[in-house]
Chain A
Amino acid sequence: MSTASVANHDAAHDHGDHEHHDNFVTKYIFSQDHKMIAKQYLVTGMFWALLGGFLSVLFRLQLGFPEMDMSFLRPLLGGWIDETGHLDPTFYLALVTMHGTIMVFFVLTAGLSGTFSNFLIPLQIGARDMASGFMNMLSYWLFFLSGVIMFISLFLKTGPASGGWVVYPPLSALEQAIPGSGLGMTLWLVAMTLFIASSLMGGINYITTVINLRTKGMSFSKLPLTIWAFFLTAVIGLLSFPVLFAAALLLVFDRSFGTSFYLSDIYIGGEALPNTGGSPVLYQHLFWFLGHPEVYIVLLPALGITSEVIATNSRKPIFGYKAMIISLLGITVLSFVVWAHHMFVSGMNPFLGSIFMFLTLIIAVPSAVKVFNYLTTLWRGNLIFTPAMLFSIGLVSFFISGGLTGIFLGSSAIDIQLHDTYFVVAHFHLVMGSASFFGMIAGVYHWFPKMFGRMMDAKLGYIHFWITFVGVYMVFFPMHYIGIAGFPRRYYSWTNFEFANMYTDLNMFVSVAAIVTFAAQFIFLFNFFYSMYKGRKATLNPWQSNTLEWTTPLHPGHGNWPGEIPSVYRWPYDYSKPGAEEDFIPQTVPLSATPESNLPHEQELVKVELEIMKEEEEVLVSNEAKH
């Protein structure tokens, strides 16, 4: 076994030596290096985040200042601003739809998983690259193509898809119902199909790599929690995205080929359509079979990143490593059996509602365990507030706030009133949107030195964090009140209803907070691009972390380690171990080298370890002799 793995490493090593043959195109564009692909994902994700954020500013202007003259936006939006200077109500729906689609799929799925799974999996498990570099490259370029198509759809005369990010038929199936359901929706479906293909290719690669390419000694019980999170995320994606594909495919058939999967008994535009026997609720079941796991697809990587960042900067092992893994596994499994809690009042059988309420509230248990474990990790730590650490603490706060409101929504009786109100908007923007976004930002601050060999400016990071953290709460916390009062989602204006015709001031406040928060992201952008070229040179292990990626050179080439891939001897969380001189012991340090700090059961492992090392050395020597 050990012979085979060493031989493998050797072959890969040779490959690593040939990297200087890269030209510009193979290095920066059609790169098969996981690190470059990760950066491509990151920059593309940042572009989409800016665009998605900008769209939200547009509709927040409408909601906060309904009387405002928006003529100044005409150069950008053209006919979508009417003669009186107001936003077109149809385009308002297009804005919320595209904001949702872009943020959920392009930013928090591709931008987060795509970046950090690609970047960290090989580096943290000790692999030369992904299992299939080519497929990895293909995955990015399909995502890119998908983005191009989605981007084009923004400029159509009839507007992009406008049926909400969930694109429920019949609204999304019938052009007569809303203009965005014409070509805009077609492009949405094409883009999503490519996106699904892209994330499947990515996911297969992540899973294969984690299972097959771990370095010597890197057992599953020694994997950093980041890798566990990315691995399970990929598993969820692999099992749920195909269902979205099926849902989309049936929708395509209904739209273009006259089938009736989702359509029945429809009279629209002065005519009765021939479709009978379909069910719009079927689409909802299929959609949410992806839609709910999708929440965890965006959240788990963020939780993984946070576990790593909090442990490192608390100078403490993550509390309950095994419990954290079990929670992740629990969330993974349960995420597949809670989807219909989005449909309590969709008209489905109320008995199903009872079942899904029960299952939904179970998933709160592993989530609670994670929170308690984070808190205990902070307890009696020695906390260093790097920007990444601040964003991780922010994430935990959002995870608590948004997670707790999930308990209301998961209870079907309470959900009757809250469903599709701003309470839901507040809930998922905190627990899924902001939490995952903070995880992503924390990841960028933390691994920037590994990505670019330079440091981001910490002070700018602090300013960025505090404005964003306070800003996010100022945007989403007031929405709870608005939601309890019953304000429905996706409303262009509330002035038609007396029960909702209050809180103009609160909506104005939310809008201002949203604009400030959005503007603060430019601090980050500046910091990111400036530091990329002018930042201080990073040291090899700037955060004094234990994981493998910090054993690579400052600018790792294709192949990551110039020589042998280091072997792993311990778990990644040996921080502040009693007896040890430093407050961290990297995974590559053998137990036999640290007799002063070994725990009793580790001391017993030393003998086994020494035997393996001896054996390995013999293999190496014999390999040398062959050459």
Chain B
Amino acid sequence: MYGFLIGVGVLLIFSIIWMVYRIQTLVSVVKGSDKKVASGSNKVNAILFIVFLVGTGILMFWYSIKEFHNYQLPIASEHGVVTDRLFWVTMAITGVVFLITHVLLFIFPYKYQYSEKRKASFYPDNNKLEVIWTIVPGIVLAGLVISGWMAWSDITAPAPENAHVVEIMGYQFAWEVRYPGKDNVLGDYDYRLITATNSHGIDFTDKNAIDDFPSPVVVIPKGEPVLFKIRARDVLHSVFAPHMRLKMDAVPGMPTRFWFVPTKTTAEMREETGNPEFQYEIACTEICGRGHFSMKKIIEVVEPEAYQKWYAEQKSFIQMNPSLAAGLPSDTKEVAEIQLSEK
């Protein structure tokens, strides 16, 4: 019954629209306005361009200002300050161009709308103008390229020697984290060694792997360089830490990396945002399947002293699961046993 009523309503609306359409067609035929080059609608359209310009202009400025704190995420890394500055410089330049071109684009239709009394001016070319507006954008873009390139080469330069290494591995649909342990060297891995208990595929015959340890959250120290070594186990993923202005694909078969210096601890950020629950998050930004939207990992930025303390307290893979050490060659096993006895 309900559906029937809706159907009738829709039909009614359509027939009214239809009638209006027919009537306006007939009226325009009677008035002969369909024979004119430009009917009265020409003026209406010209005015609507101005209305559009003013209306959307106001909307844009109002919303951009009102929501600024909302869409501008606080920055929590050193290079983030640089890239954000580039972003806003580019925004200023393109913003000016955007406004000027649009004001012209919508004012011209109003100003030069059709009139039988006027003739358009025959103005086919002007080489001087062309050269100017080829060279000026060229120079401006060159400036952007150079500043962008300098930032880019700093960000992608090799990580400092003393960087704290964290390995992040993506898989469907989560991230796993591995720290190199006391020796500060990550052990080898091989995807063929992956089992239910060894989800990273760590090769424990490599002595460097013995003290590697996992962590449910990414803990990193504030103010010191951190190097993310990124890999994937199954399909492409991408590590995205929005507050760190950090993004790098995780590629199966090709390890990638990204280093940065966090500048605010989680606690400081909680204060800054006024949100006592604030946490740094990692999301996945490369489509990877059904759970793409749910690959979350928390980053906890702490003071360096707290970091050292936390780091020393962690239990290695082998300490957590001694069976991983079973079947290792004797010399490696020795190292593993020493470590086990240390706990």
List residues of chain A with CB under 8 Å of any chain B CB: 89-90, 93, 163-164, 168, 170-171, 174, 177-178, 263-268, 272, 276-281, 314-323, 345-347, 350, 353-354, 357-358, 361-362, 364-365, 368-369, 371-373, 375-376, 378-385, 390, 393, 396-397, 400-401, 404-405, 407-408, 411-414, 416-417, 419-421, 457-460, 462, 466, 469-470, 473, 477, 481-482, 484-486, 488-494, 496-500, 502-503, 536, 544, 573, 575-578, 583
Contacts and interface: CB of A to CB of B under 8 A. Distances in A.
Contacts of B125: 319-323
B221 to A, nearest CB: 22
Given A272-B192, A319-B124, A178 B290 contact: yes
Given A267-B191, A267-B194, A494-B293, A414 B148 contact: yes
Given A408-B90, A494-B293, A177 B102 contact: no
Given A272-B191, A378-B105, A404-B98, A420 B238 contact: yes
A484 B124 contact: no
A381 B248 CA distance: 50
B94 interface: yes
A400 B83 CA distance: 23
B4 interface: no
B289 A178 contact: yes
B141 A362 contact: yes
Contacts of A177: 172, 234-235, 288-289
Contact of A417 (B21, B83, B104, B171): B83
A267 B113 contact: no
B310 interface: no
A170 B235 contact: yes
B287 A164 contact: yes
Interface in B1-40: 21, 24-25, 28, 34, 37-39
A415 to B, nearest CB: 9
B285 A350 contact: no
Nearest to A405: B94
B281 interface: yes
Nearest to B55: A470
Interface in B87-109: 87, 90-91, 94, 97-98, 101-102, 104-106, 108-109
B71 interface: yes
A496 B296 CA distance: 8
B60 interface: yes
Contacts of B102: 397, 400
A404 B97 contact: yes
Given A93-B287, A383-B109, A496-B293, 9 more contacts: A177-B288, A272-B191, A314-B120, A350-B156, A353-B156, A380-B120, A411-B145, A493-B293, A544-B37
Nearest to A168: B236
Nearest to B44: A462
Interface of B: 21, 24-25, 28, 34, 37-39, 41-42, 44-46, 48-49, 52, 56, 60, 63-64, 67, 70-73, 80, 82-84, 86-87, 90-91, 94, 97-98, 101-102, 104-106, 108-109, 112-115, 118-126, 129-130, 133-134, 137-138, 141, 144-145, 148-149, 151-153, 155-156, 171-172, 191-192, 194, 201, 233-236, 238, 240, 242-243, 245-249, 251-254, 256, 277-279, 281, 283-294, 296
A486 B242 contact: yes
A369 B133 contact: yes
Contact of A500 (B151, B194, B253, B283): B283
Given A350-B152, A413-B152, A420-B238, A280 B252 contact: yes
B234 A365 contact: no
A319 B108 CA distance: 15
B191 A280 contact: no
A485 B292 contact: no
A355 to B, nearest CB: 10
Nearest to B45: A385
B122 A462 contact: no
B101 A400 contact: yes
Contacts of A583: 119-120
Nearest to B157: A350
Contacts of A164: 287
Given A419-B247, A481-B67, A375 B289 contact: no
A345 B124 contact: no
Contact of B254 (A178, A279, A407, A417): A279
Contacts of A264: 252-254
B148 A413 contact: yes
B251 A378 contact: no
Contacts of A266: 191, 233-235, 252-253
A255 B221 CA distance: 44
Contacts of A458: 39, 41
A466 B47 CA distance: 12
A163 B235 CA distance: 11
B281 A498 contact: yes
Given A320-B125, A497-B283, A499-B242, A346 B251 contact: yes
Given A89-B290, A347-B249, A365-B134, A354 B152 contact: yes
Contacts of A544: 37
30 contacts: A93-B290, A93-B292, A171-B287, A264-B252, A265-B253, A268-B233, A272-B192, A277-B253, A317-B123, A317-B124, A345-B247, A358-B149, A361-B141, A376-B123, A378-B105, A379-B104, A379-B123, A383-B109, A407-B90, A407-B141, A414-B83, A416-B155, A466-B48, A481-B67, A481-B71, A488-B240, A488-B293, A490-B293, A496-B296, A578-B122
Contact of A316 (B83, B122, B245): B122
A485 B243 CA distance: 10
A90 B290 contact: yes
A407 B147 CA distance: 13
A460 B243 CA distance: 48
Nearest to B74: A499
A595 B44 CA distance: 39
A616 to B, nearest CB: 28
Contacts of B80: 417
Contacts of B252: 170, 263-266, 280
Given A357-B148, A583-B119, A365 B87 contact: no
Contacts of A404: 94, 97-98
B141 A417 contact: no
B4 to A, nearest CB: 16
Contact of A473 (B44, B56, B137, B281): B56
Contacts of B86: 411, 413-414
A616 B104 CA distance: 48
Contact of A414 (B52, B90, B171, B277): B90
Q: Which of B52, B84, B134, B291 neighbours the largest number of chain A CB atoms within 10 Å of its CB?
A: B134
A385 B253 contact: no
B119 A576 contact: yes
Contact of B153 (A354, A383, A408, A576): A354
Contacts of A280: 236, 251-254
Contacts of A486: 73, 240, 242
A297 to B, nearest CB: 23
Given A266-B252, A357-B148, A499-B281, A575 B120 contact: yes
Contacts of A417: 80, 83-84, 87, 242, 245, 247
Given A177-B234, A400-B102, A89 B120 contact: no
A92 to B, nearest CB: 9
Contacts of A373: 130
B251 A281 contact: yes
Contacts of A354: 149, 152-153
B105 A375 contact: yes
Contact of A376 (B91, B129, B194, B243): B129
Nearest to A416: B247
Contact of A320 (B130, B144, B287, B293): B130
Q: Which of A279, A362, A378, A466 neighbours the largest number of chain B CB atoms within 10 Å of its CB?
A: A378
Given A267-B194, A417-B245, A490 B253 contact: no
Contacts of A362: 141
Nearest to A354: B149
